[in-house]
């Protein structure tokens, strides 16, 4: 009776009776194989490198994808913040009825603003330097107030002079380059000047700087000057005319559905282009670069997964006698396979979770980290002159983060299958022959 009781009590703890997959016995053995021992130092080092590799690979993927998403989001918001989503240009004649057309366009459902615009290239000069090229944009004062990317980012001065038709707004980088501030004068030189018997003389005129804006995109802050519409018409010899009417819509991705409504409201022949057509090359390049970076950085996780394979193969070789003993005690091939699968999968799971945590922390503090390394190296990392933005953005996408986690886990699990399968096929007789 006692022997039967003893057998019953010992049964559940023995390998032969732990038929349930991923049982406590299998988890216990897998955990023992994960713990570091002096004679298994090499295996532990390989496991450590695998863990670090997966962690850094996952974190790098999350950080790079978040930064590239942030770049795209910020660039779209900056570009579409001051440029219209739809641009209406005349075909059959000049836009001399722009005020009435703008009112008709603004009444279309989904259109938030219709902005008549005069544009022209000039040479701008101030107190310092020989001058720089500038893009003058003539807009109405009421329309400029609605452009929050400009009117909401006035760093010096105000809009009073602009509203009175006596001043211009200058980007912060252009103001710094020319050495001017609010209240100073800026001189503009246009090649489209006055016609004289001796030819066309360049038009030179000075304007007081009413305010200085900073959009945060270096290309705009260093090149754009906003001028009152009436004054720009006089300056560019376009009295009573505008070159185009820019339409801002509530849903930029819905511009195709608004085209028929805009054409009907115009009542004349017009040519319509949208923001996707104007920036197609730029955003396509960003998408290609993003996809290529994802594939390249995935190789980091793949290399770490290969380290799991090598570490587990060495562990199987080292634990050959243990596997033989477990099999002679009744452990099935499936049980042995699950033990080594859990050993390798544990490295992949913990490495992935640690990588997600590291990636989230870095993304939340990416600008502070950039400033720290800039200070440490004494150089400007991610120079706004090259990368357009004054700050390094990071926008984590939940779907992409989940995809990175799934990809890392799948690679880790696949890496454990072959060593675990090799361990399950080990012949106990051959393993114990030379012990």
Ranges of beta strands (E only) in 180-223 are: 185-196, 199-213
CA distance 232 to 87: 19
CB atoms within 10 A of CB 62: 26
Q: Tokens for 379?
A: 């150089």
Determine the pLDDT at residue 170.
92
Domain extents in the chain: 23-74+283-432, 93-268
The tens digit of pLDDT for each residue in 85-135 reads 889 988 888 888 888 888 999 898 988 889 999 998 898 888 766 678 889
DSSP conformation class of 93 = S
Element at 119 (helix H, strand E) = strand 111-125
Element at 368 (helix H, strand E) = helix 366-377
Determine the pLDDT at residue 212.
92
Proportion of the chain above pLDDT 90, given as a percent: 7
Distance (Å) of CA 99 to CA 91, 96, 163:
17, 8, 18
The residue behind tokens 């660039």 is 75
- CA dihedral (231, 236, 237, 238) in degrees, to 10, reads -70
Determine the pLDDT at residue 3.
38
DSSP conformation class of 198 = T
Determine the pLDDT at residue 6.
37
Binned at pLDDT 50, 70 and 90, residue 12 comes out as very low
Cβ contact 174:225 at 8 Å: yes
Distance (Å) of CA 385 to CA 217, 222, 391:
9, 9, 11
User: Between 196 and 79, where is the model more confident?
Assistant: 79
The tens digit of pLDDT for each residue in 42-52 reads 666 777 778 88
Binned at pLDDT 50, 70 and 90, residue 389 comes out as low
Determine the pLDDT at residue 10.
40
Q: Which of 361, 381, 363 is nearest to 371 (CA)?
A: 381
Looking at every residue in the chain, the average pLDDT score rounds to 80
Q: Which of 110-124, 293-307, 313-327 has the lowest mean pLDDT?
A: 313-327
């Amino acid at each position: 009776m006692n022997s039967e009781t003893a057998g019953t009590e010992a049964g559940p703890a023995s390998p032969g009776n732990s038929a349930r997959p991923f049982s406590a016995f299998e988890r216990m053995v897998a955990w023992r194989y994960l713990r570091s021992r002096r004679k298994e130092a090499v295996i532990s080092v390989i496991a450590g490198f695998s863990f670090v590799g997966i962690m850094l690979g996952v974190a790098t993927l999350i950080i790079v994808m978040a930064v590239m998403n942030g770049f795209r989001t910020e660039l779209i918001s900056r570009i579409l913040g001051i440029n219209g989503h739809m641009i209406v240009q005349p075909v059959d004649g000049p836009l001399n009825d722009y005020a009435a057309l703008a009112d008709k366009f603004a009444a279309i459902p989904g259109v938030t603003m219709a902005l008549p615009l005069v544009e022209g290239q000039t040479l701008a000069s101030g107190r310092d330097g020989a001058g720089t090229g500038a893009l003058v944009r003539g807009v109405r004062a009421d329309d400029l107030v609605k452009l929050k990317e400009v009117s909401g980012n006035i760093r010096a001065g105000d809009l009073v002079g602009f509203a009175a038709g006596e001043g211009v707004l200058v980007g912060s980088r252009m103001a710094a380059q020319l050495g001017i501030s609010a209240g100073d004068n800026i001189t503009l030189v246009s090649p489209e000047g006055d016609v004289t018997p001796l030819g066309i003389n360049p038009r030179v005129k000075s304007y007081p700087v009413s305010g200085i804006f900073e959009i945060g995109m270096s290309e705009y802050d260093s090149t754009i000057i906003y001028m009152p519409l009436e004054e720009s018409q006089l300056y560019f010899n376009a009295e009573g005319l505008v070159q185009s009417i820019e339409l801002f819509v509530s849903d930029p991705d819905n511009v195709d559905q608004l085209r028929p409504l805009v054409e009907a409201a115009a009542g004349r022949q017009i040519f319509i282009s949208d923001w996707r057509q104007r920036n197609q090359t730029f955003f396509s390049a960003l998408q290609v670069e993003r996809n290529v970076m994802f594939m390249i950085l995935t190789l980091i996780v793949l290399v770490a997964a290969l380290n799991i394979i090598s570490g587990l193969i060495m562990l199987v070789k080292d634990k050959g006698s243990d596997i033989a003993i477990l099999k002679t005690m009744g452990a099935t091939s499936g049980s042995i396979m699950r033990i080594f699968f859990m050993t390798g999968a544990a490295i992949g799971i913990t490495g992935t979770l640690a990588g997600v945590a590291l990636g989230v922390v870095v993304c939340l503090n990416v600008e502070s980290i950039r400033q720290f390394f800039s200070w440490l190296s004494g150089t400007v990392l991610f120079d706004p002159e090259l990368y357009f933005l004054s700050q390094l953005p990071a926008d984590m996408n939940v779907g992409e983060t989940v995809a990175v986690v799934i990809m890392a886990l799948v690679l880790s699990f696949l890496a454990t299958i072959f060593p675990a399968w090799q361990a399950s096929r080990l012949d106990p007789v051959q393993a114990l022959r030379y012990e």
